[in-house]
Structure 1
Amino acid sequence: MLKQLRTVAAVALLTVTAYAVAVETTATHPDTYVVRKGDTLWGIAARFLEKPWLWPEIWQANPQVDNPHLIYPGDVLSLAYLDRVTPQAQVQPGARSEAPINAIPLSEVEPFLKNLTVVEEFKHLPYVVGLEDSHLLASAGQMAYVRGLQDAQAGQRYAVLRPTVRYGKPQPSRDLDARGNPTPLSGNLWKNYVAGSERLGLLGHELAQVNVGTVTRLGGGRDETATLLLEDSGREVRAGDRLVPVQAQPYDLQFIPHPPAATAEAGRLRVLAVADTFTSGGPRDVIAISGGARDGIDNGTVFSVWRSGRHVNDRVTGMDTSRLDDVLKPGAGRVALPDEYAAHAMVFRTFDKVSYALVMEGTKPARVGYELKHPDAQ
């Protein structure tokens, strides 16, 4: 949850002797840098550090900084490392008239923070059974009739959610129909990216928020449904959509990049889906990954995303065969190729077994089935 923002008194000389081994700077960095409006912590660190997710370790080395996670436009940051020294007078805070800069622009992930959630089960939730005038779809200003809201109060606000994806076995990713049941054959895509022997178990069901409404009338007597007045014109509601109470603040507003707290078993963490696209995404796209709070993943965790090394036929020393080349599984006569780096991604919303991450930068698209590793993986 959002913590109370505190004023940063000063951003002073950074002493990084203790971090000399862990932190690698770029070849050409200035002694100081003036923070500008529109900067992000990730962007500044990416310019001056080889590993931008390590910026908190550098700035926390200065005991004079009240909160190294908050810097403001106009702050003069010292970037003098090792045997280089910046005079104290050159390092000073800027005006505090503007909001502090964040690790990433919140506007780029806010729609996903609000609109996507993952639950173990959802079929026990209240659901839309019909719409005003027997419409197939309804939007702002129209009525939706809901079954299962026995404990609701008039005036209470609910988010309307639509089951979209089932993350779990036998295929880790399957689209859901209007009833919330897996769409036949929708999980076949996973077979193109992950060897068939891998099984992740049920990870949860993704629910996408499509609308918000207020309870105007409760069901009673021969009337089995409550009435919900829809407020949002963004997406339309249909029968089968589910309801949960509106949360006052369902997500964090600040993200601090850092490496994973624990090393995951090889192949354990995978890209489950790419939001709003079919199989792949680039910088500022959102990916769902097969790990969450139970794996020690929290908001700000940074991973590198890798294409799993394929197995190819050695046509020089092995048999010349027409057997399919470039496959995921090992076999007789096949040679294992190395994994290939694709991108870095930062987690911004975490559930028990699934998390969402923002692709920050990379050299190739991040695709469904790609493996997630420590950001320093080689």
Structure 2
Amino acid sequence: MRPVPSVCTARLALGWGLLMSAALLPAQAGATDFPVTTAQRDTAQRVATAGVPLSELAPDAPDSYTVKRGDTLWDISKLFLRSPWRWPELWGMNLEQIRNPHLIYPGQHLVLIKADGMARLAVARPVGAGMSQDTQTRTLGPRVRESALAEEAVAAVSLRLIGPFLNEAVILEADQMEQAPRIVATQAGRMMVSRGESAYVRGAVDKARNWSLYREARPLLDPDTRELLGYEARYVGSAEVIAQGDSQQGGKQSVVIPSTISVTYLREEAGVGDRLAPQPARDLEGYMPHAPNQPLSGKVVGIYGDALTAGQNQIVTLNRGTEHGLERGHVLSLWRAGAKWTDRTSEDRAQVVVPHEKHGLLFVFRVFRKMSYALIVNVQQPVSPGDTFSQP
């Protein structure tokens, strides 16, 4: 028989918050105190007291679930909620006692508790683990668990999909790559260079730094206004400088001795003309999924890479950024414009426009001043540049 949660258990809200950073932190960062905003704290305390209405639960929400390796918070929440991005509302927070609110791990047994028209989620131990024999119940109490979160904690969405883009995808306000160091020749005169091979770079590079390789930046224009929003520098790989070059004056013409780099990682083959930029510091800022707190809409500018359309788990650029109120962790609805046709069943031959249809969700994970990157979490039809989005 499954243990019956006690009243204390039913009143408990499991500590959560600061989405994604748990899985991005280095192993030694397990004991770090992470910032929690006032708005997050207020929402957490409200939900921890009230719970979530039963109407918000998925129709086939299970009574319990055991977390497995490879699970994500989004996947788990889809089992319980109609809107999985609202998972913090189901768990709530106990911010005063749980110092590190990322504590969800494989092997934990989650129990859905329903009472007075509301639902909460608690963590239960297997029968006999710390429970009295007569009641087989256990009052849950918050505790601090210090561990290598990068290896154990469950992430919100698959880091395999967006992890590399957290630092590699770059939007520049000016074409800064135009003056950046560039590959001018490759080993043995080949057109392309592979991992472990050498290439020759003209421009100022520091041997003490690690460098990222980018394809020539392309301008991104607003689909409506044609305003130049920025330049997207497409990530190619990374390299290290093994010998610095020099410039010498010889007669009427200067002689350039290029620096030598060794390619340490490639997403695609590098070649002559690719640019170098210092690798940025690892971005560990935490965030949690939430809707914009004000009306917000915009359009998809482009698909990351060479594709013309995008599907689930692909990355898109948006024509909204920090100056428009967009934040990391925002969840947005994708809309498909309604089709237009002539009503041939009527003599007036009226033009009929089908209403816009919501057909997917975006998860914003990197924000610049005028633009943002977002992951297509789910979608019913291919996404194209010009498709619209709004608050969910």
Q: Structure 1 residue aligned with 2:233, among 174, 191, 207? A: 207
Report the secondary structure of 2:327's partner residue: coil
Query: C-alpha displacement at 1:161, in angstroms?
Result: 0.8
Which whole-Å CA distance do the structure 2 matches of 1:236 and 1:59 have between them?
Answer: 45
Between 1:96-105 and 1:239-248, the stretch displaced more is: 96-105
Deviation string for 1:322-376 (max 9, x for gaps)? Answer: xxxxxxxxxxx4233211122112122222222222211233332322111112x
Residue pairs, 1:80-229, within 5 angstroms: 80-83=113-116, 89=138, 91=140, 99-120=152-173, 121=175, 122-149=177-204, 152-163=205-216, 165-168=218-221, 172=223, 198-215=224-241, 216-222=243-249, 223-229=255-261
Between 1:27-36 and 1:81-90, the stretch displaced more is: 81-90
Report the secondary structure of 1:270's partner residue: strand
Contact 2:329-2:364 within 8 A present in 1 as well: yes
AA matched with 2:184 = V
Report the secondary structure of 1:53's partner residue: helix
Give the equivalent residue in structure 1 for 2:318.
289
**Do the aligned partners of residues 272 and 47 (structure 1) sit closer, same or farther apart at CA in structure 2, a change above 3 Å counting?**
same
Which whole-Å CA distance do the structure 1 matches of 2:316 and 2:55 have between them?
Answer: 28
Give the equivalent residue in structure 1 for 2:391.
374
Q: Structure 2 residue aligned with 1:355, among 372, 385, 391? A: 372
Alignment: residue pair count: 326
Percent sequence identity is 30
Contact 1:17-1:82 within 8 A present in 2 as well: no
Q: Which runs of 4+ in 1 moved over 6 A?
A: 84-88, 92-97
AA matched with 1:89 = R
Query: C-alpha displacement at 1:103, in angstroms?
Result: 0.2
Which whole-Å CA distance do the structure 2 matches of 1:201 and 1:264 have between them?
Answer: 19
Query: C-alpha displacement at 1:319, in angstroms?
Result: 4.4
Contact 1:32-1:79 within 8 A present in 2 as well: yes
Which whole-Å CA distance do the structure 2 matches of 1:23 and 1:260 have between them?
Answer: 22
**Bigger fraction of residues in helix:** 2
**Do the aligned partners of residues 237 and 364 (structure 1) sit closer, same or farther apart at CA in structure 2, a change above 3 Å counting?**
closer
Query: C-alpha displacement at 1:15, in angstroms?
Result: 6.5
Query: C-alpha displacement at 1:112, in angstroms?
Result: 3.2
Q: TM-score, normalised by structure 1?
A: 0.74
Q: TM-score, normalised by structure 2?
A: 0.71
- Gap regions ≥5 residues in structure 2: 1-20, 34-45, 125-136, 250-254
Which whole-Å CA distance do the structure 2 matches of 1:277 and 1:51 have between them?
Answer: 31
Query: C-alpha displacement at 1:307, in angstroms?
Result: 0.4
Aligned-CA RMSD value: 3.4
- Gap regions ≥5 residues in structure 1: 9-13, 173-197, 321-332
Matched, 1:241 2:294: no
Which whole-Å CA distance do the structure 2 matches of 1:146 and 1:318 have between them?
Answer: 70
**Do the aligned partners of residues 119 and 29 (structure 1) sit closer, same or farther apart at CA in structure 2, a change above 3 Å counting?**
same
Query: C-alpha displacement at 1:19, in angstroms?
Result: 4.8
